[in-house]
Amino acid sequence: MANVTRASRALQETRRLTASLHSWAPRPKPLSREDILKAGSTATVPETLPSWIPLIEKSAFGEPHGVVEGRVNGDSFVGGPERRGQQKYNASLSLPAWHQFGKFDSGGPIPKLSRRSKTVPAKFNNKAGPSNSVGSLAPLAQGASAPTSSTTAPLGEDPKPPSIKSSKYDGTLTLKGFCLDVVEQVSNRVAGGKIISDDALLIGGWDHKLKNITPQPTLEDVPEKLWRTLVADRGPNGTSAPGWYRRACFECLQHTDRGGDLDLERLKLSPETSSTQATFLERVQPIVWGRRFFETEGKLRSQKPLFGLGNSDVRIGDKVCILFGCSVPVLLRQKPRGKDSEFLFIGECYVHGMMDGEAITSKFGSKHPQYPYYKKASTFKLF
């Protein structure tokens, strides 16, 4: 697993997860039978990437050719690799990552591979039998002759099966942190960065029906959590969100349609839209593009529900977590039929009021946990 090895090296050097959250990994291409035969004894089995290695197709413009074809996702909250050293958020208060990569037991039996990791173990079972693993060859029928290849053994020697390269890593990554809350409501997706649906604005605290009541809504009626989340609480180039964004947001909310939806693209292109509104909308679109708004239960913290913005895959029941070494909160999902500590990584997220270490201070007070012990922390094994 070259991708796992690369991630391991980055974590060992920096003790930060931020670099691993950049959408950088290409989707593995399956080997054809012809490729396997050509490779002979150096044949490899294509890997299925673990959930915690983000695919490059999840980046703002997807595959490299996407820069020409246009945006497909919102900007990453951790920023791009070109902005290394310019961290926008600090959700874990710069606490180092505690991590452990799962490895195959070279001395034990051949491990049963998980659904997320298809790497064939180093030991090769020479016994004939049915197999449905990638790259396996069906056993020959009785009396049939084996095809010749570049790996055929010299006359008089027992033929050896072609070796299949494997990784010492099993694809799992164990981290420490804690759960903030559990997702209870999820909005419709902001497809193409164009329309923010009524349900998203409602869970953000804005009801479009306010426009039709007396007295009319004022600037103070715009929830802080809503306007700040729309811009991920940042201005251009990662600067603090300017205060005038709130008024611009208020003015934009006056243009929801009868169903309560806000058409960002139509409003931005309207000749009646002011320059401040247009500037605000230019900031909003790359943040919300393809994402979903969510609200949490508010039970774990015994406080008000949290409001945030996640990727298109977020679902009800996902856990909003702080991982040590990660600059932003993340969404984790319980692994199907897995143990309580086993999860799939869904992605980064923005959580209002939890982006600059507030969660660490709330949980641990002024005495922050010490690396590598991290008492009162939970363990998350990612597949």
| Structure confidence by residue, pLDDT tens digits, 139-188 | 444 444 444 444 444 444 444 433 334 457 788 999 999 999 999 999 99
Cα–Cα distances in Å, from 127 out to 111, 123, 124, 348? 16, 12, 9, 45
> 363: which DSSP letter?
H
Q: What is the pLDDT of residue 45?
A: 57
pLDDT at 336 over 90: yes
List pLDDT tens digits, range 76-100. Answer: 998 765 454 456 899 999 999 999 9
List pLDDT tens digits, range 365-379. Answer: 888 888 888 988 999
Q: What is the pLDDT of residue 27?
A: 75
List the end-to-end C-alpha distance of the chain, in Å, as a whole number: 14
- Percentages of the chain per state (helix, strand, coil), in multiples of 5: 25, 15, 55
List pLDDT tens digits, range 50-76. Answer: 898 888 888 888 887 766 778 999 999
Percent above pLDDT 70 for the chain = 71
Please tell me the distance from the alpha carbon of residue 39 to that of residue 31, in angstroms, as a whole number: 10
Please tell me the distance from the alpha carbon of residue 165 to that of residue 123, in angstroms, as a whole number: 10
Helix (H) or strand (E) holding 309: strand 307-310
Mean pLDDT rounded to a whole number for the chain: 80
Q: What is the pTM of this model?
A: 0.78
| H-assigned helices in 185-263 | 198-203, 224-230, 244-253
Q: Categorize the per-residue pLDDT at 119 as very low, low, confident or very high, splitting at 50, 70 and 90.
A: very low
Query: Given phi > 0 = left and psi -120 to 50 = alpha, else beta, which region is 205?
Result: left
How are beta strands 169-186 and 319-323 bridged, if at all? Answer: antiparallel
Helix (H) or strand (E) holding 182: strand 169-186
